[in-house]
Structure 1
């Protein structure tokens, strides 16, 4: 083995653990475990591939028959190698034991000079290049441990051993949407009634009831997002803010992605700063940095073609920071993107943070594949592998050092064991208790709707860290609210107001704001619902 590897090979060819070698019986195939050990002895890592090399899978339209693509995509990771595990984001099985252990174990092999140089640069807070970030994503074996431990070193330097969480309630005010995001199993339009649930449009009375109930259960925040209903204008979002402040003046409103802000401003004929200022005056506290998905238009052209593009997302965020809002930044990965696209996303949010300082945290969201249209059509991978899930949290911490203090993992997507592993790979925040979670569940996730403060703190302590309940801006929660959040009463069953079916009058078409298209498409609301 030594002489063969030393000669420069990078592929062992086909190896069968079950079929006898009838051609060369005197030299049977090695056992895979032995082959892996011999390969590792030479400082290499044995990785399984398909019969097609990963370089060809990057040009799938050219090399893979259309009938085979769904099976191929379901079998590979983001680099084009075999997934090698049953775990998928949103599903209930625990992550692979080997990957869980790898985060904290003592590596047998030292980092290569190249990897060590990249990690030293990141720990020092210097911006990495796209190629350096891609190199980190290709890590396997002990390299994962080196990266996770470097990320955790940075985490300790920036925020110590404290892990934060927020007691909040998600209120998704409508699932009616005229946009055509290929990953979304939540929104309902004319052709999506086969998906989970019926179209709904919450009444203001129900929004008020949920807000009051959340406050009584100790919530310091309501997080509001939803589909882009064809009848909604910028005034709709202002009215929602007024409604919440009317019933609970002290409730922090964390609401409206850059897409809602863009659409709201356009429908009222206002500039982004003008509309954002109006939202602030109506009581909006902070904005979620959702609708980012992957900030690269090569990906967005397929994933969300009519949504805001990369430049528009960044423009809304910069405008929000400019009028005094803090926002989060997010990424949704594990579908059709390559590591290069993730690297560009990280570098773009880092550049804006260096300019404005307005992001409070970076939120990492793995793609939930089970009910996603793009996966069901056979055009996407089945989410990230757990190796990739660990790596992206660690690499985000390293790439965004020191301009982002807070890196958040999602329990609704990774589950508690997955989040616990990420706490050893640079993560210091585990998001909100949520109370109601519908978007991730609509995509097929099975990790529940709520993680109570008691469960949050037990999870954090089990990782050897110190829990702290935080406000949206990472400040201190009023003690009265914090006390109420423990031992909270059972939620009342939510009420969903059925969405109205509008008169299908083809003569009264209104232009809907679709910023991702070259020209706005004329479409009536009747054709959406």
Structure 2
């Protein structure tokens, strides 16, 4: 209670530095550190992050004369004032080869205003200022190496920050101290115009106004008092509360260096450093990143961690710390070991922290977004492997190993994740934040979440794994909607998507349905683009055609978007149109066109499509009309974990109302040919860990409402679905025959998985295969026998093609399937 009262008081917005000092004056350092570490753990858990970087000292000339600095020096004979672009790129390339993702540019403040040599050299290179040259150097590094630049150029005006934002993922300037007294004669900043605290705070504020993720901090022990340190922290807190842009606070301890005016000054004591770290943690928002450089505290890293930091800053395997060359970076293996010995886990981050990476549209210039999105997972942390949905690459070995580890159940059940899992197992509805926590599960928690989901699967479904023999019939790929994820639709000719537009004739639809029946199928799954000439009558005709050719075939067709469109074009209600479709032979609906049931995402992904409420209303109407459906989610593009949680809850809530969903089907985003990815505006699909968790958490969240969890072999391949069968999945979906939509997006797992393949895989997993109907009934014996030795598919007729060049419509032609 006392701790909570102290925390609440310290966080008061109007609190003064003297009040803070009075409040903490009687608190022991050990208690202050304990409270700070606890606050850190609440927000950051076990993670202690670092950025793998290269250090690029663009120039070591500076117009300031800080009395403790050995980085800056006067011009030297035979030495250039600036690194050349070639030298900059050589450093960056070495960093890239060593696995670095950040290029940290450090330099002196505007040396051209003090040194003629700097001014002349800039002029010879064609630049008006150091900042202009910095822009070119950062651009070259980003374009040539892919490293993300972080810039520390000193004082800047708004125009400078805005210009450099186009070539940097983040920027920074150390406040060092808000005390103007340190700029007076005898102070460490006397004679250094750029160390004026008011001007430095103005630069930090301008960065906030321009939405730049920003690094700043204090240099402890340069002559400031404890009260001045607190004033400095409060000044930074005020700016962060206004703009939210300060991504990290560095609490750096001063080290006296030879050949400086402060070489005989006393370094701050360890206790002073720890006190300042702990206080920073307590004064700022809980999720603030508090950092202390590990190379400046050798031998006491455990104490630094205990004071409340959650980040070690940038650590380079290639370049020295040019500001503190006497203090080498600790080897990453040693740093990881020291971190682990304190019960924490060292994790890599980018130069932009995860919270800012997740909100990339606000915090990152459009020129950098494609590169950033290619590097991160849904949490904003770096992707740790190259696996993507739809590719033939093996799933990451580390994730597969974690699936098979024995989780530490007592530890799990005593923590927040354990409580959430237990709540889900009871069938109780989870909250959004609880589901987000499950998606963040790592290590033992990840294993335990997956194991808990599989235990639920076993209790609900036993060891049976089902599948349905079906054929996909995508009757047209012409569509006038502008869904940014879709590589199947051919309405957007300017997108240059592969394949030619087609519109299948009714006789061909009937022929394919009959051929599927002869091969043992019990279902045709039919969806297509929203053809501009289609009305609801067309959808009714499709149903009647299938029933005419194969009266006993189950028709699983028409997304809620198609239902909406059909009703609108006929001028009737959705309810009435659904009744007409049912009369015409429609059996169930696919739960597609859902993508993510959150309008924040839909505004980016499919802005002209039906919205979340409409999708849910149409599905509810279908269920009330006696038409059951699947429920899907397409994830891993521009979405975040909170969107996934909302989607799952909306599916669960509708199921509680109607009971109409037969199964939940996670569909990982396949990025390769998707327009939104090609434009640099999406991630390259979810990570394998996220795919596994979506299946497991789907089982947990929907428990007691939806019994069947399906995985997509088209998206994941055999190795991927084997993993998902270990985390709560009980259904492999359809054999498909003519799968085209995922392959249009770049998926490489083929167009059909024969029943024998399905059953062999299921048995290899020590499970029992079961061929089912669309609504999970038993198939007739003759249907099963017909599916076991199917004949080869005949060449398909794609229908009337639209010539892009002259708008000519040639005659229908037969083609081999793989060419469609």
TM-score (ref. length: structure 2)? 0.60
Aligned to 2:582: 280
Distance 1:133 1:67 in 2: 33
Distance 1:406 1:41 in 2: 43
Q: By how many angstroms is 1:62 displaced?
A: 3.4
Aligned to 1:178: 480
Distance 1:458 1:299 in 2: 39
- Contact in 2 for aligned 1:134/1:339 (Cα 8 Å): yes
Match of 1:315 among 612, 617, 639: 617
In 2 relative to 1, CA 193–26 (structure 1 residues): closer, same or farther, beyond 3 Å?
closer
Structure 2: runs of 5 or more not aligned = 1-300, 808-820
**Aligned positions of 1:515-526 closer than 5 A:** none
Distance 1:131 1:78 in 2: 15
Q: By how many angstroms is 1:103 displaced?
A: 1.2
Q: By how many angstroms is 1:42 displaced?
A: 4.0
Q: By how many angstroms is 1:455 displaced?
A: 0.9
Aligned to 1:16: 316
Q: By how many angstroms is 1:163 displaced?
A: 0.8
Distance 2:378 2:363 in 1: 17
In 2 relative to 1, CA 44–157 (structure 1 residues): closer, same or farther, beyond 3 Å?
farther
Q: By how many angstroms is 1:499 displaced?
A: 3.5
Aligned to 1:464: 766
Distance 1:244 1:43 in 2: 63
Aligned to 2:656: 354
Q: Which moved more, 1:447-456 or 1:111-120?
A: 111-120
Q: By how many angstroms is 1:21 displaced?
A: 5.9
1:29 equivalent in alignment to 2:326:
no
Q: Which moved more, 1:467-476 or 1:58-67?
A: 58-67
SS in 2 for 1:12: strand
In 2 relative to 1, CA 161–335 (structure 1 residues): closer, same or farther, beyond 3 Å?
same
Match of 1:345 among 647, 661, 669: 647
SS in 2 for 1:409: coil
- Contact in 2 for aligned 1:158/1:402 (Cα 8 Å): no
SS in 1 for 2:367: coil
Aligned to 1:509: none
In 2 relative to 1, CA 44–458 (structure 1 residues): closer, same or farther, beyond 3 Å?
farther
Distance 1:43 1:120 in 2: 25
Aligned to 2:814: none
Aligned to 1:241: 543
Distance 1:91 1:228 in 2: 28
Question: After superposition, what is the alpha-carbon deviation per residue over 1:224-279, rounded to whole angstroms, capped at 9, x for unaligned?
Answer: 00000000000100000000000110100000000000000111111111110100
Aligned to 1:395: 697
SS in 2 for 1:351: helix
SS in 2 for 1:361: strand
Structure 1: runs of 5 or more not aligned = 506-529
- Contact in 1 for aligned 2:320/2:328 (Cα 8 Å): no
Match of 2:344 among 44, 54, 64: 44
Aligned to 2:178: none
Distance 2:657 2:447 in 1: 32
Aligned to 2:305: 5
Question: After superposition, what is the alpha-carbon deviation per residue over 1:265-299, rounded to whole angstroms, capped at 9, x for unaligned?
Answer: 11111111111010000001100010000000011
Aligned to 1:527: none
Q: By how many angstroms is 1:18 displaced?
A: 4.6
1:82 equivalent in alignment to 2:382:
yes
Give the number of aligned pairs: 503
- Contact in 1 for aligned 2:670/2:715 (Cα 8 Å): yes
In 2 relative to 1, CA 427–73 (structure 1 residues): closer, same or farther, beyond 3 Å?
same
- Contact in 1 for aligned 2:315/2:329 (Cα 8 Å): no
Match of 1:306 among 608, 626, 633: 608
Aligned to 2:530: 228
1:55 equivalent in alignment to 2:355:
yes
- Contact in 2 for aligned 1:21/1:29 (Cα 8 Å): no
Aligned to 2:394: 94
Match of 2:518 among 216, 234, 241: 216
Q: By how many angstroms is 1:459 displaced?
A: 1.4
Match of 1:294 among 592, 596, 609: 596
In 2 relative to 1, CA 25–428 (structure 1 residues): closer, same or farther, beyond 3 Å?
farther
Question: After superposition, what is the alpha-carbon deviation per residue over 1:110-167, rounded to whole angstroms, capped at 9, x for unaligned?
Answer: 3251111111111111111000001111112221101101111111111111111111
1:65 equivalent in alignment to 2:383:
no
Question: After superposition, what is the alpha-carbon deviation per residue over 1:298-352, rounded to whole angstroms, capped at 9, x for unaligned?
Answer: 1101100000000000000000011111111100000001111110000001000
Aligned to 1:331: 633
SS in 2 for 1:99: helix
- Contact in 2 for aligned 1:87/1:385 (Cα 8 Å): yes
Aligned to 1:522: none
Is the helix fraction higher in 1 or 2?
2
- Contact in 2 for aligned 1:21/1:28 (Cα 8 Å): yes
Distance 1:52 1:370 in 2: 25
Q: By how many angstroms is 1:460 displaced?
A: 1.4
**Aligned positions of 1:122-521 closer than 5 A:** 122-192=424-494, 194-499=496-801
In 2 relative to 1, CA 459–38 (structure 1 residues): closer, same or farther, beyond 3 Å?
farther
Q: By how many angstroms is 1:19 displaced?
A: 4.5
Question: After superposition, what is the alpha-carbon deviation per residue over 1:400-422, rounded to whole angstroms, capped at 9, x for unaligned?
Answer: 11101001110100111111101
- Contact in 1 for aligned 2:524/2:556 (Cα 8 Å): yes
- Contact in 1 for aligned 2:449/2:696 (Cα 8 Å): yes
In 2 relative to 1, CA 278–431 (structure 1 residues): closer, same or farther, beyond 3 Å?
same
Distance 1:489 1:318 in 2: 39
SS in 2 for 1:330: strand
Q: By how many angstroms is 1:191 displaced?
A: 2.5
Q: Which moved more, 1:341-350 or 1:105-114?
A: 105-114
Q: By how many angstroms is 1:25 displaced?
A: 6.2
Q: Which has the higher contact order (CA 8 A, sep 6+)?
A: 1
Distance 1:298 1:343 in 2: 13
Distance 2:665 2:652 in 1: 13
In 2 relative to 1, CA 3–289 (structure 1 residues): closer, same or farther, beyond 3 Å?
same
Point out the structure with max Rg over C-alpha: 2
TM-score (ref. length: structure 1)? 0.92
- Contact in 2 for aligned 1:167/1:221 (Cα 8 Å): yes
Distance 2:337 2:430 in 1: 33
Q: By how many angstroms is 1:488 displaced?
A: 1.2
Question: After superposition, what is the alpha-carbon deviation per residue over 1:354-395, rounded to whole angstroms, capped at 9, x for unaligned?
Answer: 011000000100000000000000000000001101111111
Q: By how many angstroms is 1:45 displaced?
A: 3.3
Aligned to 1:508: none
Question: After superposition, what is the alpha-carbon deviation per residue over 1:70-126, rounded to whole angstroms, capped at 9, x for unaligned?
Answer: 000110001100011100000110100111121121136832511111111111111
Superposed CA RMSD? 1.9
